[in-house]
Amino acid sequence: MSKKPKTTEAHHEELVQGLYDQMKIIFEKSEQPMYLYLDDNHKACNSKFATFLGYKSPQEWADVKGSLDPFVADKSKEIVSSAYWDAMNKMIGSTVKVTWKKKGGGTINSTVILVPMVYNGHLFAIHFVTSASQ
């Protein structure tokens, strides 16, 4: 009997979990909020990033599907999109100023270091976030 092939959804979830597991010590011990991003529906963050945006847990943040609209303020969307495009297409990192939307309302300013990373042949963007108030 042949094994049923994985769906793209299951494969992407497995990739996100695999990279998170590989980087677990960084996600858990980093003093910075951080997240990894495969696509709009496949991402993971550390507890510091979830808390930074007002979410109760990394899972609650990751469960928000769709684009970055719920997270990134309008004035920063083009900046984040451009930095992501550069990472994915030119393989270059960026340092950008980003204004985030907090879950409960309001915004918070930050500096984000965004770098490309490959895991199992798939390109991810890793984001390290520093609050502008630090």
pLDDT tens-digit map of 30-66: 999 999 999 999 999 999 999 999 999 999 999 998 8
Provide the 8-state DSSP code for 131. E
108 burial (CB, 10 Å; 0-12 / 13-18 / 19+) is middle
pLDDT at residue number 5: 61
Contacts of 118 (CB under 8 A, 6+ apart): 124
The sign of the dihedral angle between the CA atoms of 17, 19, 20, 22 is positive
Domain edges within the chain: 8-131
Q: Given this structure, which CATH class describes domain 8-131?
A: alpha beta
Q: What is the pLDDT of residue 6?
A: 77
pTM: 0.91
